[in-house]
Chains A and B, each alone.
Chain A
Amino acid sequence: MTMTTAHETEVTADPNVPLIRIVREFDAPVAKLYRAHTDPELLVQWQGPRSIQTRVERWDCRTGGSWRYVATQGDEEYGFYGSFHEVRPGEQIVQTFTFEGVPDGVALEKLAFEDLGGGRTRLVATSLCDSFEGRDAFLASGMEAGVNEGYSKLDELLSRI
């Protein structure tokens, strides 16, 4: 695997507002990257960590549409849902995000697709949470899933040696 096309993800946690910003560049044109976000069949192939199965129950990706998916890890199921607030093909997707375990919490997510020319695209994803606690739980949950992912890799490694 070559490293020439690797564009490391940048993550910023804003100190003034409960916001997380993720910036990543892709060696793919806008239309393709956009499709990987709007076509549920493609979405499930990359979104969750390998240890988590994602079942999309609704993915009506248009302005005023809604979505729901269920993430399954072992015997446990976690539901997530939201609305598509403003969808402009090849440009941006604005949606809400709620974890059903915390139904009163909602984050406003914005995905902006920037054409860099030469078949490359920059994705700027921001999640604005409704409290610092909510935002920090997001960051901490990343930690937990990261640890789980680490274990699954260890399992794989152990099964090969």
Chain B
Amino acid sequence: MGAAADQLSRVFSALADPTRRDMVARLTLADATVNELAEPYDVSLQAVSKHLRVLEDAGLVSRRRDAQRRPVHLEAEVFDLMTKWIERYRRQAEERYRRLDDLLRTLSDDIEPMPPGQPPPPKGAPS
């Protein structure tokens, strides 16, 4: 679980930056070189390279070492992994709330109105 959380953390913090999110969004359309990626931003090429390194460390993008242009490629499966983590969490919450659905159906409708600012009447100490 530690390694999973670490990777998830890197992905999320890499995506916490709006410029990096924008770069990722553009890479979903097609691979691009560093120069192409840098074009729309009013920042240095070095700054763009730094953003790319963060994305690379998170496993979100890769660059082919052999090719002359070294185009940046989006690693879509990392997104799948992230989606899978959230989906598992979601499914767990859904199971919890289905238990709550069942419980709510068994509760009677006539609940004494609660006076504002007061806790509900005590039901006896929990065992």
Contacts and interface: CB of A to CB of B under 8 A. Distances in A.
Nearest to B112: A31
B1 interface: yes
A41 B104 contact: no
For the complex of A and B, 6 pairs with smallest distance between CB atoms: A142-B89, A46-B99, A11-B90, A140-B5, A28-B104, A136-B8
Contacts of B120: 35, 38-39, 61, 89
Interface stretch (B10-18, B31-39, B41-49): B10-18
Interface of B: 1, 4-6, 8-9, 12-13, 15-16, 21, 85-86, 88-105, 107, 109, 111, 113-120, 123-124, 126-127
Interface stretch (A75-83, A109-117, A143-151): A143-151
Contact of B126 (A10, A29, A41): A41
Residue in A8, A146, A149 whose Cβ sees the most chain B Cβ within 10 Å:
A146
Contacts, number: 148
A60 B88 contact: no
Interface of A: 5-6, 8-11, 13, 15-16, 18, 20, 22, 24, 26-29, 31-36, 38-42, 44-49, 55-57, 59-63, 65, 87-90, 132-133, 135-147, 149
A142 B88 contact: yes
A48 B120 CA distance: 22
Contacts of A149: 92, 95
Contacts of A136: 5-6, 8-9, 12
B52 to A, nearest CB: 18
B88 A132 contact: no
B118 A146 contact: no
A9 B96 CA distance: 10
Residue in A35, A48, A61 whose Cβ sees the most chain B Cβ within 10 Å:
A35
B96 A47 contact: yes
A47 B116 CA distance: 26
B96 A32 contact: no
Chain B interface mostly helix, strand, loop or mixed?
helix
7 contacts: A28-B104, A31-B111, A42-B107, A47-B96, A57-B126, A62-B118, A140-B8
A65 B120 CA distance: 13
Contact of A139 (B8, B100, B117): B8
B123 A142 contact: no
Given A8-B94, A49-B92, A146-B92, A141 B103 contact: no
B126 A9 contact: no
A90 B88 contact: no
Contacts of B100: 26, 33, 36, 46
Contacts of B99: 45-46
A89 to B, nearest CB: 4
